[in-house]
Structure 1
């Protein structure tokens, strides 16, 4: 058995009294590391608390607390009259030697690399766009400076401190706040022509969560799912993750080509179609009435699901917006999703899914296993603002502001970039679908603009298989008129020719 005096405690146990971590915890953690890596072996005797105190120049009571912790955890054991030892029941740790043909290596840092194998999925690996203080022509986000933040903070505080705290701060309904579902049912019935109750609504963190629940519950591996040829990449990724067989159909100035969908239905069984009917993503065009009617008829005839993502219904600038497909659905084939993320700010993770009652009940069970419930305080706060009409007032004000920004931005593009960009003035939404001329390198232009203080997407996520469409979305809603002038100036000076 090794002598405790031979072991180099002084060099291997390093105490840093400047750290916030208590000294006893530093000693405990370092002993654990020495035992785990085999430096201190099972059965090896260690110094007494008095000796350790002298060697480490630490108060003996601190040493005793550290040793008691290790004894309590079973890493050390005491033998009456003999002293303290590394526990005998620990497995012997030996250094592994790799052979030349070994196909693995020892993981030297568990904080950097996993000690187990897993299979990365390339389609999940995407750039994460984060908010910055730079100028931006983003994907089409709202301007949080217009949001009713003072009203929201007042409502949040009120809901936090008033009422039964056990109920408000405890576990709630998996479907979401009943108050919010009731207020949403009224609001959606009035603004979108739906005929629903609170039981037809599931509160989610956003459309992404709604879609994940949908694919988990209703899409099996090998099911046929139809998307527009150009579509929201997050939607496509969800269906890829579910193992669906993805089919695509083109979009023209009137939305997706529903006639082509009919031809597919005649040959194959379709499980679901994902659609952004009001303002097609990414092109912003609106699905016209005749195609809406035909799409609903096809879904009823062939019994497939329509997932209608109505991400920016409230911002339509040409007369009144068209009512969603869900408003005319009497057969229960449309699942309708929206959120306050695109209406107020991406930070407010509150969205909703509208569906038949039995579907909502079914999906609530799936929601429970990934997210027991949402932010009940935030949900109730939004319910209060809906009840008071504050959100409705904010949306009307934002609509006027965003229309002005759209008009100014489109005029700036015409004046400054008419030879470089083709676009149509969008009927609604918060972005312009811009097609750059063939001689412009969009990727290098985006990189150049970023160096000059302007962010915009390089459009790679919108490309079709084996085809670069050299197009991207230029969001105007989150910038003021003056900021838009600066954005267009930088954009014009940042374009790179191929």
Structure 2
């Protein structure tokens, strides 16, 4: 006989009637398989004695379960778990319990990976000096809406709404190939391009393809945490090299390569993240030379190439790479709006083919309608016109914001005016608690990051990125005035 006395625990002081508690616990034992179908239950008198209950309480519980179909009575034999258990239907929503939540923790174990605990900075209402986002108010929404409508009027509906190429919409890949070849001196065809949902998906796929547990990836110190998370996720060893006013120290990288095998080097040479500095041509050429010499892949993240203000943009590493050592990643999210989840990976065809196979097991294909619409914006010139307009606006905002920082926060913030990009790397006075300041500002209606995500292990840079592109000049003035008030009283 099963140990019913230890399996069933009743609370006679509870509001729920004892016979209902007993019925519920027997029902649970059946549902969990502790009481299998066909199992004979103790007689009512026997179970009452075991549980110190009145026999009528047990009879009432059995009657409840018999009526629900969980038990069946066999004349002259006793009471058994039913051979055909009742269908368990979801309970109707009780609007009086709207505040109730589902379970916070599962009944099974899983590993919480510390490297995935990355702060989330949302675009709240009010003033913001964000991580370096575009101004979504400038996005070509009317043009995009027209392009969306044309999708429903063009070609074969079966082709539109069925499964497509995991590499992405052909029209957009064709247009991107032309655009990248013209503006960045790349040498691509559509077959060299994989469309992804933002550059971080491209980084995830590339790191999954290239890195095995125990292999080494090298990044700058400090670096974008989103990229670091993907490298850690593969089980790779993440090594860091110093970053100075010219970007990654490639001679420090050469020293590492002389001592151990390196599989991948991740760089943001156009505007290093987070410090915004630009890597000069001599370091770029040296990095490419090291790549060929030691056989490591270069993952070049060119997240905001379109926005360079002091001179013509320096061409990407990928434009000077005839040997196929560079995987080039870019995004339209920083060019248009974060909700445009379109990024791209440029690489040799064999790499693109394999990345597309990896992409299929996490995301069968991208947003075909959005990709087509953006392809149309490229084809008819709307997107190029938007980028030119945005470039002029962001250059003016950069100049204005840097003047505000210099005039209003001199002594509080140190910075070097960026050559391009959408943010300023700001180093705060050591006497200012940046986390506390960010909290005070948020309560006053200004959102900016506290910079903790940029700190290397064991260090406090007391620095953060202050994005200027998503704010008008008036909003920038209000933001700096509030920061001045909070830091100087």
**Structure 1, unpaired ranges of 5+:** 1-9, 15-30, 45-69, 80-84, 92-108
Deviation by residue 1:422-444 (Cα, 9 ceiling, x = unmatched): 00111000000000011111111
Residue 119 of structure 2 is aligned to residue 127 of structure 1: yes
Query: Mapping of 1:168-247 within 5 angstroms?
Result: 168-247=160-239
Taking a change above 3 Å as real, the CA distance of residues 134 and 268 of structure 1, as seen in their structure-2 partners, is same
Could you tell me how far apart the structure 2 residues matched to 1:78 and 1:158 are?
68
Residue 252 of structure 2 is aligned to residue 257 of structure 1: no
| 1:334 aligned to which of 319, 323, 326 | 326
Could you tell me how far apart the structure 1 residues matched to 2:197 and 2:482 are?
35
SS in 2 for 1:474: strand
Taking a change above 3 Å as real, the CA distance of residues 78 and 411 of structure 1, as seen in their structure-2 partners, is farther
TM-score, normalising length: structure 1: 0.80
Residue 409 of structure 2 is aligned to residue 417 of structure 1: yes
Query: Mapping of 1:324-403 within 5 angstroms?
Result: 324-403=316-395
Taking a change above 3 Å as real, the CA distance of residues 35 and 130 of structure 1, as seen in their structure-2 partners, is farther
SS in 2 for 1:306: strand
User: Structure 1 residue 469: deviation in Å?
Assistant: 1.0
Could you tell me how far apart the structure 2 residues matched to 1:197 and 1:124 are?
35
Taking a change above 3 Å as real, the CA distance of residues 137 and 332 of structure 1, as seen in their structure-2 partners, is same
| 2:471 aligned to which of 476, 479, 488 | 479
Give the number of equivalent residue pairs: 428
Tell me if the contact between 1:445 and 1:496 (Cα under 8 Å) persists in the aligned partners: no
TM-score, normalising length: structure 2: 0.82
More divergent stretch after superposition (219-228 vs 461-470): 461-470
Taking a change above 3 Å as real, the CA distance of residues 110 and 456 of structure 1, as seen in their structure-2 partners, is closer
Partner of 1:36: 31
Taking a change above 3 Å as real, the CA distance of residues 32 and 137 of structure 1, as seen in their structure-2 partners, is farther
Partner of 2:77: none
User: Structure 1 residue 147: deviation in Å?
Assistant: 0.5
Taking a change above 3 Å as real, the CA distance of residues 246 and 39 of structure 1, as seen in their structure-2 partners, is closer
Query: Mapping of 1:423-438 within 5 angstroms?
Result: 423-438=415-430
CA RMSD of aligned residues (A): 3.0
Tell me if the contact between 1:199 and 1:357 (Cα under 8 Å) persists in the aligned partners: yes
Partner of 1:303: 295
Deviation by residue 1:380-436 (Cα, 9 ceiling, x = unmatched): 000000011111110000000001111111111111100101001110000000000
User: Structure 1 residue 156: deviation in Å?
Assistant: 1.1
User: Structure 1 residue 263: deviation in Å?
Assistant: 1.2
Partner of 2:311: 319
More divergent stretch after superposition (410-419 vs 32-41): 32-41
Partner of 2:143: 151
Residue 261 of structure 2 is aligned to residue 269 of structure 1: yes
Query: Mapping of 1:46-57 within 5 angstroms?
Result: none
Could you tell me how far apart the structure 1 residues matched to 2:82 and 2:154 are?
54
SS in 2 for 1:377: helix
**Structure 2, unpaired ranges of 5+:** 1-15, 21-25, 40-67, 75-79, 87-100
Could you tell me how far apart the structure 1 residues matched to 2:36 and 2:109 are?
29
Deviation by residue 1:317-363 (Cα, 9 ceiling, x = unmatched): 01210010000100100000001111111111111000000000011
User: Structure 1 residue 495: deviation in Å?
Assistant: 2.8
Could you tell me how far apart the structure 1 residues matched to 2:288 and 2:175 are?
27
Could you tell me how far apart the structure 2 residues matched to 1:310 and 1:179 are?
22
Deviant stretches of 4+, over 6 Å: 31-35, 37-41, 75-79
Tell me if the contact between 2:121 and 2:449 (Cα under 8 Å) persists in the aligned partners: no
Residue 136 of structure 2 is aligned to residue 141 of structure 1: no
SS in 2 for 1:290: helix
Deviation by residue 1:158-199 (Cα, 9 ceiling, x = unmatched): 113432111011000011111111111000000110010000
